[in-house]
Structure 1
Amino acid sequence: MTNGPGRPERWATLRNVLPDLLTAIPEQQDEDVTERIGFVWEILVGEKLAGHTRITRVTEKTLFVQVDGPEWLAPLKALDTRILEGLNRSLRTSCFTRIHYDIRPETQPPSSNKRKPKRMRHTQLPEANPTLPVDVGSLDRIADPALKETLTGLAHKFRFVALALACVVGLSNCATIGDTVPGFDIEIAEGTPDFEDSYAVRHISKLNEQNPGRYRDPRAYYHFMMDLKYEREGDFDMAAHHYAKVVEHEPGKEDFITHLMVLYLRIGKLDEALQLGQRGLRTFPDNVRMHTIVGDILTSRGRHAEALEHYRKVSELDPKSPRAFLMAGTALRFLKEYEASREWFHNVSVIDPANTLGFFYYGRSLLDTGDLPAAEEKLKKSVSLRPSMIEARQALAITLEKQEKYQEAITQYRILKKLDPANTVVADRYDTLNEAWDPVTETLTSGTQPLPELPLAEPDIHRMIGAIFYQQVMYLEAIDEFRLVLAQGEDKEVRFTIARIYEVLGRPDKAVQEIEAYRAQKDEPDTVEVLLKLARLYGLDGSMSQSVDLLGLAVNRDPHNHRLFHALTLAYMSLNRNEEALQTIDRAIALNNSHDAYYFEKGALLERMGKYEEAIANMNKALEINPNHSNAHNFIGYMYASRNIKLDRALYHLEQALSIQPRNGYFLDSLGWIYYKKGEPEKALTHIKKALIYTEPDPVLYDHLGDIYFSLENIEEARKAWKTSLVLTRQRLNNAAGEIPDLDRLESKIRNAEELLHTP
C-alpha cells in the first residue's frame, strides 16, 4: 500500500527514535551510487517490474540488471530508451548508453522471494557489540523486505548498527510458537509476545546496569518496526496495537504519545486518544499536536468551552496555525459568542489568505451580525477559492437575496441546484425567484409575496475539513476528520467515504468493516445500494460467496433490475457456478435485450461450457447491438483460430478489434495466432512480439510464441518460450484467472525440443 500523506510523520518518528536506540555514530559521506540508481530505476520501470529485477553492477556506460525470468525481458527492453533517458536526466549525466540483462540462475532465489531465517537458540545468538562494524550478511536474517530495506538504508548512514540488529534478530528468534506475522517470518504466540526472557532484553538490561539509561528497551524497537509494517499495509488497528506497546516501554517519549493519539483517532478509539492526550499534557503542556487532538475530540462531543481552552493554547504556542484560530472561532459560534468568533475568523484570513473555510466562517459571522456587504465580500472570496463548496454558496445566495440582489441570488441558486440536486428547498427557492423575476425592470414582479427566510444550518467543521482533504487526495487526514464526525452519530455518507478511501488504499477488507459497521448500527433494512457496494467490496477481498449472497438479497429487493442479475451472473461465473450464471444472465436479457454486454457475457459463459456455436451466436448478437465491441470481435476471431476454422473471417474480426484498440496485447496475440494457423509464421511472430510489449507475462502468449518459433525451426527459442510458459502456468495453477495451457502438453513440447537439440 502507498503510505500517502501519513508517511512523513511516521519517518520523522523513526528518525527521532534511532538516536535513543543507537550510540552516536559518524555518518558516511559518500552515498552509494548503485543505491541511488536503484531508487531511480524503481521510479522509471514501476513497482511491478522493479520487484522482479535487481541492479548487480554499474560500469562507465553500462547498467547490469538481473531479472527473475525471461518473461520479463520483453517489457523491460521495450522501455530501454525511456529508462536510459530517465537515468541520465535524474543523475545529471549522459554516460549510460546500454542496459545489459542477465537471467537469474534457477539456483538463486528470485528478487521478490523471502528467505526464512534459521532458528537459533538464545545461547547461539552472537554477542552484540556496539563497537563492531555492521556485518551486512546479518541483514539476511531479516525476512521482511521493507524492514531489511530500512535497516540497510541505515547501515549506509551509520557505521555501527550491531546493537540494533541484535535487538531485532534477537527478538525474532525468541518467539517460536503460535501464528506467523505476515511478511516477517516470525512466529508469535497468540496476542503480542512480551519477550521478557529474550536474549536482546536480557542483554540490554545488563548493559544498562553498567551504564544506566544509556540503552532503550529493545521491545520498543521491535513494536516500532511492526507498527511501520502495519501502517504501510493500511492496517491501522494492528499499528495502534503495536504502538501502544512502544509507548508502554518508552512512556517518556513525547513523539510516541502524539503518534499513538493519531492512530487511536484514525481507528475511531476516541476515548483512548482523549485519555492519552490528557495524561500526556500533564507532562508535556506545550505540545501543540496533543492540544489540537484533545480539542477536536472535545468539540466532537459538544464540550466547546473545554475545547476552546485547548485551541487558545495552540494559538499562543503556534500563532501562525490557521487551524487553531478556525477551530477556536467555531467553538465560540457554538457558544453563541458571534462577535468574538468574528475576530478569530479574521485572523484565519490574515494568516492563510487561501483558506476557504476561514473566509466562509468570517462571512457567516458577518451575516449573523447583519453586516451584509462585508459578508458578501468574504463569502464570494470563499466561493472563488472552492467553487464546489455548497455551504459557502448557499450562504452567499441568502446574503445576496437579503440585499435584494435577486438576479445574482438566482444565479447562485441555479448553481446550487446542479451541485446538490437532492436539495428540494434550494430547488423550490430557485423556481420561485426565477418565476417572479422581471428582467426588464430588474425587480420582482408586483404582487410577489415576501419570501420566508431560508434557514442556514450550522455545518460540521470536521466534515468540511475532511471533504477538502479527500479532494486533495490526503486520505489519512480525511479519515481522521471523518472519525470525529462519526463520534457525533452514524453517518452513511461519511462511512461510505471512509470505505472508498480504504478501497483506494488497497484494503477492501477494511472497507468491508466500515460498511458492516454502518449496517450494524441502523434499524431499517439494507437498501439495494448498500448491498451492491458491500457485494463489490467482498468480491475485491476475494470472498465471492459473500458477494453472491448479498447480490441474491439485492435481486429479491428489486427483481426488475437487470443490472443486478448481470452482477449476480459475474459472481456466479467467478465461482464456476455456470448453470446458475446462465439462468441469471437470461433473466437480465429478458429484462433488457438491448444491452450488448449481456450477450457478450452469455457468449463467454457458453464457450466455457463447451457450447461454441451458441457462444458465437451470442457474440454476433452483441456486435449487432454494438459493432464497435472490440472484445466480441476478438472473442469470435480467437475461437475460430483455436478451432482452425473460418480463418479469413477470424482475421476480419481481429482487424476490427485492433482498429478500436491497437495496443491491446491480447488482441495482438490472437492476430498472431490466426496468422500461425493460416501458415504465415513470420507475420505471426511479428504480432506476438508486439503483444509481449503490451501485456504482462502470460502463459498462453508464451506457449503460442514457442509454437511459432518451432514452426520456423528455431528450436532453441521455442524451448525457451515453452519453459517460460511452463513456469507461468505453474504459478497460476492455484489461482487460475483465464485460460492457461495444459501442463502435460507443455512438458511434452519441451522434451521434444530438447531431444531435437541434442540429436546430432
Structure 2
Amino acid sequence: DQGKFDLVEAEFQKIIEQNPNNLETRKTLADLYKDQGKFDLAEAELKKIIEQNPNNSYKRELLSDLYKAQGKFDLAEKELEKIIEQNPNNSYKRELLSDLYKAQGKFDLAEKELEKIIELDHGDPDRHKFLSDLYKDQGKFDLAEKELEKIPIKYYPYLQFDVAGAITEIAKEKNLNKFGLALEQLQEAAKVAPHAVGLYWKFAQLYEKQGNLALATEQIREEIKLDSNNLCTHNFLARLYKAQGKFDLAIEYLNKTLEIPPPLSRKLKTYKEIAYVNCKMNTHKFLSDLYRAQGKFDLAVEHLQKGRALEPTPPTNILAAHYRALAEHFKKALERDPHWSIHKTLAELYKAQGKFDLAIEHFKKAGSGFLFVIADLYKKQGKFDLAAEEFKKILEAWPNNFELFLSIAELYEKQGKFDLAIEHFKKEIERDPGGLETRKFFAELYERQGKFDLAEEVFIKALEEHPRDSHTHKQLADLYRKQGKFGLAEKHFEKMLELRPNNSYIRQWLADMYKEQGKLDLSIKQLKDIIERHPDALAQRLSLADIYKEQGRFDLAEEVFKKAIELNPNNLYHRKALALLYEDQGKFDLAEAEFQKIIERDPKGIWPYESLGKIYKELGKTTLAEEAFRKARELTDEYIATNRAEAPKDETTSKATGTDKVNEQSEGNASTTAPQTTPEVKVEAPKDETTPKAQGTTTPKATE
C-alpha cells in the first residue's frame, strides 16, 4: 500500500524459498512484476508454474496475455494453441486465439477458429455475430449477411439491436437500402420482448430514415408509455411533430416536458442530473425556435432567457464544485496524516480539475510508483523535456520496456532534438543489436527527416539480421519508390512474393508501381494474376479496365466492366463506369440503356438524370434532355427541402435521431449524394505481417 514494491518482492521470494511449490504466490509475484513492466521476470515466474503443472490452462493463458502485452504475438499464439491442443473443445480459448489472429490481420485463421467455435457451441448466436463482423472487416459483405441470417433472432432478443444495426451498416457499405430487413429483425424481436425500453425508439429511427414520419411518431409515443420521464424521448416526438408542420402539438409536448421532475439521487450531483439539466436547457431553446417561427417573439424571448439561465458557467460547474469540495476535504486529511494514498487521491482530484502542477507535486510526494503519471502530465502541458527526464528514470529501472524507449524518442523528436533522438536509438541498438523494431523505428526517423540514404542503411542492416521479415522489405521498397528507384523497389517486392507467394496485396503494390512508371503490360500481368486467384476482386477489375482505356483498348475495358457487373449487379458504380465508357466512344444508345438501368435501381438518384440529359443533348433530342434535367432539378429541390426540415442541431436532437441527414441520405440513396461511390472490393487477407490491420477492403489506389 505504500508503494514499496521492492520490499513486497522480497517477502514473496522468502515465501517461495520456504515452499517452492506455492503456485499462487508465484502467480501473485508474476502479476506484481507485470504491473511494474518487468515482463521478463513475470514470464520466468509463469513458466515455472507451467513446468510444475503443464496442464494448467489458466496459467498458460496468463503467459499468452503477457506475450501479447509485449507484442510477441507468435509466442502468445503458441501458448493458446497448446491449451487448445490439450482441450480441443475449449471454445473460449479458441475465441481468444481468433481475436489474436484478427488483431494481426490473419483473417483466414480467425475465420477457421470462429467456424470451429460455432460447430462446438451448436450455433451460438454470439459467434455468428462475431464471424459476421470479421467478414465485414474484410469487405466480404455477402458472407457477413449470411452469418446474420443464421441467428434466430426471435429466440435471442438481446441481439435485436446488434443485428438490426449490423444489417444497416452493411447496407451503408454496399450502398443498398436494407432498412426493410433491419425493420423485420426488430419486429421479430418485438414479439419476444415487446416492452423492452429503447425498442420503439429504434423503430422510430428506422421509420424516420424512410421518411415515414407518421409511423415514427406512433412508435415514439409507445416508447414514452414505457419511459415517461425521459426528456430526450419527448423532444424526439416534438421534433417529429415539427417536421410534419404540427407546431401546436410540438409546443404542447415541449411544455409537458418541462414539467418532468429531475432524477432522484442520494449522491452528490450525478451525470444523470447533468443530462437532465442539458435536456431541459435544449427544450427551452427548441420552444424558442418554434415560437419565433410562428411570430410569437415575446414567448420566444422568454424561453430563450430561461434556457440561458440553465447554462452552466463554467460548463462543468457541478462537477467542478464537487472536485473542489473533495480537494479541501483531503487537504485537511493530509494535515492529520501525511499518508501517500491521500497525496495520490488529492493529485487525482487536481488532475481532474486541470491543475496539473499541483497534481504533479502531490504525485511526487506519493512515491516513485507514479512516475508514469507524472511524465504523462508533463507531456500534456507540452513540457516535453521534463516528461523525457521522468521516462528516463523509469527506463533505468525497466530497460527492456520498448514502449518507454519509443516515448522518449518521440518526445525528443517533438522538441526538434533530432541529435538526441538519434543518439537514443543508437544506444538501444548497442544494448540489443538484434532488436528489429528498434532499427525499423530508427530508419523511419531518418525518413521523416528526409535523410533517405541513412534510412536505407538502417533498413538494409535490419534485413541482414532478419532477411525473412516481409514488413521491412515493404518499408524499404516504399523508400526506394519514394525516391524513384523503381528497380530496387521491384527487387524487394519480388522478395516479398518469394516469401508470401499467395499475398494479393504485394501484387497490387507491384501493379501500382508499374503503372506509375508507365509499364502498363507488367501492371496488367499483376492485376490479372490477382483476378485469377480471386474472381470477386472488383477493384482490381476496375484498375484493369482503366489501364485498357488508357491504352485505347475499349473492347477489353468493356468486357472487364461487364464481368464486374455480373459479379455484383447491385453496385451502381460499375454500371456508371460502363455507361461513361460507352459515352466516351460515342455509343450513346448503349450509354442511355445503362443509365436507365441505374435509374430503375435508384429512382431517387440525381446524377443519372443529369447524365441522360447530356446524352440527349448530344443526340439533339431537346425535349428528352429538358425532361431529364427537369427531373434532376426536382430531385435536387426535394433533397434540399428534406434537409431544411431537419430539427435544430442540439444535444437532444442528436441523441434522438441517432444519425444526421447526411448519413441518412448516404444509407438510403447513396447515388443521390455520392455520384463517385467507392467500389466494393474483396481481396484475400494476407497471412503475414505485411497485412494492413483490419483492412479487408481496398480501392485500386488506396491499397498502399
Q: TM-score w.r.t. structure 1 length? A: 0.32
Greater RCO (CA < 8 Å, at least 6 residues apart): 2
More helix by share: 2
